[in-house]
Amino acid sequence: MRNWIVLLLFTMLIVSCETEGFDVVPKEAVFETNLVVDGVEINMQAGANGYVMETGFDENILGSFDYYSEFSSTEPGDQELNFYFDDLPALNSIEEIKSNINSNLSYALNFTGTEGIMLVPDLSDVTGAYQSEWSVGSLDFTNNDNTLIPLPLLRDIKNIPVQYNLEVSNGFKATMNGSFNYDLTESCNAIVQTTFDQSNIYFGLTAFTQSPLQINWSNGESTSTATYSASAEQVTVDVISQNCDLSFSLDLTDSASLPAQIGYETIFTLGPATSFDGPGLVLEFIDSDGTTYRSDYGQQDAASTFMIDTVEEYQINSSGSKTVIIKGSISCKAFSLDSNSFKVIQAENIKIGLAYQG
């Protein structure tokens, strides 16, 4: 009996020593990729070194579905690799997955650095030194008079918020807010023209490309023109229309500091990817500095391939969706947002999970 107890304690110590300080990983990882980025090998294995495999799908504003499979990491500074299968129908069986996600699926082209909505403030009557700042969604652009809302930001966001702040050395301050609809088919331009005399300041909303559904000035007027006292310190107006909402807030130190007109225009820029080209695959690589490179930020060449070897049923994920394991290989270029730099990405024997409707 005593010998049995000693043997049991010895066995427990061996097991403890074997596992302490290591991630428990199956002998053959379920999800992994041996990635080569610009010649540097990177191993990503779900369950090891902080990596996890996440997969799911969402209906996009076009009514089709976008599917994702992501090697994300809980460790700061780790590289990440994500697969997006965009603009596909609902996938209800392995046969439907194989017919839509296969080696014939091309890399999607969403953006080549020039497509989107250009925001151009009207500064023709601003004579003094000034500071300006744009805020587009979660992005900030300081002292950049013309800025681009890139097409990738617009594709799956129904309304994207925009703010422009202007501060002139003579004391004039303006805050202009906008919300732009993805379905916009024409530019939303709004200019507020101003004139003043010793008693009043007169405002007129002009250059609005659509018929406003509603105009609300802070003095209660609801037409395209409004009159304020020359002693007014702040003027605001909200404009609501079908595809874009705009608001202006003007801080006045004295009427002489007010420009003859203020506002901004939106201009659609043209390029080879003026609209989403799908269905298709998008590969996203995030480096250790947090910089994102995507295959849809630039044109691929003949060396870019996506090969599927097998699609196998797996198990129900934590969200209750059916999943499959996709095995294959990839080779492509992943570009920076401005399309000026890229990384060559290659991987053999990748194994990723993909959730589907079932």
Average pLDDT over residues 258-269: 78
In a domain, 209, yes or no: yes
In a domain, 31, yes or no: yes
Q: Are residues 166 and 193 in the same domain?
A: yes
Q: Are residues 264 and 127 in the same domain?
A: yes
Q: Are residues 128 and 261 in the same domain?
A: yes
Q: Are residues 151 and 252 in the same domain?
A: yes
In a domain, 66, yes or no: yes
Q: Are residues 152 and 253 in the same domain?
A: yes
In a domain, 15, yes or no: no
Q: Are residues 280 and 323 in the same domain?
A: yes
Q: pLDDT tens for residues 86-108?
A: 999 999 999 999 999 999 999 98
Q: Are residues 232 and 151 in the same domain?
A: yes
Q: Can you give the residue range of the structural domain that contains 229?
A: 116-269
Q: Are 250 and 234 in contact (CB under 8 A)?
A: yes
Q: Calculate what percentage of the chain has a pLDDT beyond 90.
A: 39
Residue with the bigger pLDDT between 206 and 4: it is 206
Q: Are residues 195 and 334 in the same domain?
A: no
Q: How many domains does the chain have?
A: 2
In a domain, 235, yes or no: yes
* pLDDT confidence of residue 43: 92
Distance from C-alpha of 190 to C-alpha of 177, rounded to nearest angstrom: 11
Distance from C-alpha of 223 to C-alpha of 237, rounded to nearest angstrom: 10
In a domain, 282, yes or no: yes
pTM, entire model: 0.68
Domain ends where: 223, 250, 269?
Answer: 269
In a domain, 73, yes or no: yes
Distance from C-alpha of 297 to C-alpha of 118, rounded to nearest angstrom: 17
Average pLDDT over residues 319-325: 95
Domain ends where: 269, 300, 325?
Answer: 269
Q: Are residues 351 and 213 in the same domain?
A: no
Backbone angles phi, psi at 248, to 5 degrees: -125, 140
* pLDDT confidence of residue 68: 95
Query: Given a cut of 90, is residue 49 above it in pLDDT?
Result: no
Q: Are residues 138 and 222 in the same domain?
A: yes
Q: Are residues 85 and 167 in the same domain?
A: no
In a domain, 18, yes or no: no
Give the pairing type, strands 214-217 and 234-240.
antiparallel
Residue 243 tokens read as: 């595809």
Domain ends where: 234, 269, 304?
Answer: 269
Q: Are residues 124 and 265 in the same domain?
A: yes
Q: Calculate what percentage of the chain has a pLDDT beyond 70.
A: 82
